[in-house]
Amino acid sequence: MNITNNTILITGGGSGIGLEIAKALHVSNKIIIAGRNKDKLDAAAAGLDNVFTIQADITNENDVNQLIEEIKVNFGGLNILINNAGHAYAYTLSDTSDTYRKATAEFETNYFAPIRLTEKLLPVLKQQENAAVVNVSSIVAFAPGSHVPTYSDSKAALHSYTQLLRHELAKDTAIKVFELMPPLVNTDFSAEIGGEHGIPASEVADSFVQGLLDDTYEIRVGNTDLMYSNFFAGSEGAFSMMNK
C-alpha cells in the first residue's frame, strides 16, 4: 500500500489511536480527523501539518452526508477511510446491567456507523488507484472480555464484516481492506478498564503504518498476535472453506 500523497479520513481522530495515526502519517498525506467535539479536534490538529478537522457525529446520518459532501468539495475525494471511532461500556452481564441499552449504543458506533460510512464512501474510493478501508477492531473480536461484554460483541461483528468486505471488494475493485486489531491500549477511552496497563497508542500507530506498507490485511498488534497464533491460527482457512 502506498502511504504517501493520500487523502485520509480518520473517525474519532481527536485522541488516542486515531490521533497517533494522524501524527504518524500527516507529513506526507492530507489527514482529515472527524469527531463530535470541534474544540477537541482543533486542539489535536494544532501544530500538525496537513491535518484538517470536520465536526461530525458518525451515528447521525445527516452529519455523515455533510461529512462526505465536504470531503468531495473541499478535498476532491478520498483514498483511505479509517473507521476508528468507538464506544464502550465497562460492566458485567447481570439482570440489572441494562445490557440492551448499552449494547445498542455500542453497536451503533462500533458496527452500524462504520458500515454506513463505508458504503457511502465506496463510490468515492473506487475512483482512486490507491485506496483502502481500515476498520479498527480489537483483541476482543477473537475472545470476548467479561468486563466489556457487548463491546466485544460489536468488535466481533466488525471483524466478520471486514473479512466479507475484503472478500467482495477483491472481486472487482482495487480497494484494499485492512483490520487493525490492538490489545489493551493506554488511552482515555480505555481508562475505565485499566488502560494504564496497556501499550502506548503510538505503538499501535507504528504497527499500523508497517502493516499498510506490507499489505498485512489483519494487523494484529502485540498480544493480539500472540493470542491469534496460539488459539485462532486456523480461522483464515475456515473462512476460505466457507466462502469458496
Active site residue ranges: 151
| Beta carbons of 130 and 1 less than 8 angstroms apart | yes
Amino acid symbol at 143:
A
Rg of the chain in Å (alpha carbons): 17
Residues whose CB is less than 8 angstroms from the CB of residue 47 and which lie 6 or more positions away in sequence, other chains included: none
Reading across the β-sheet that carries 218-220, which strands appear in turn? 51-55, 30-35, 7-11, 80-83, 132-136, 176-181, 218-220
For the record, the C-alpha cell of 13 comes out as 481522530
> Phi and psi (nearest 5°) for 90?
-100, 115
C-alpha cell at 99: 445490557
Per DSSP, 83 falls in state: E
Compute the distance between CA of residue 213 and CA of residue 86 in angstroms, rounded to an integer. Answer: 25
Measured between alpha carbons, how far is 17 from 182 in angstroms, rounded to an integer?
9
Helix (H, G, I), strand (E, B) or coil at 157: helix
Dig out the grid coordinates for 79 from the structure: 483514498
Angstrom CA distances, 61 to 31, 46, 77, 231, stand at 22, 28, 19, 39
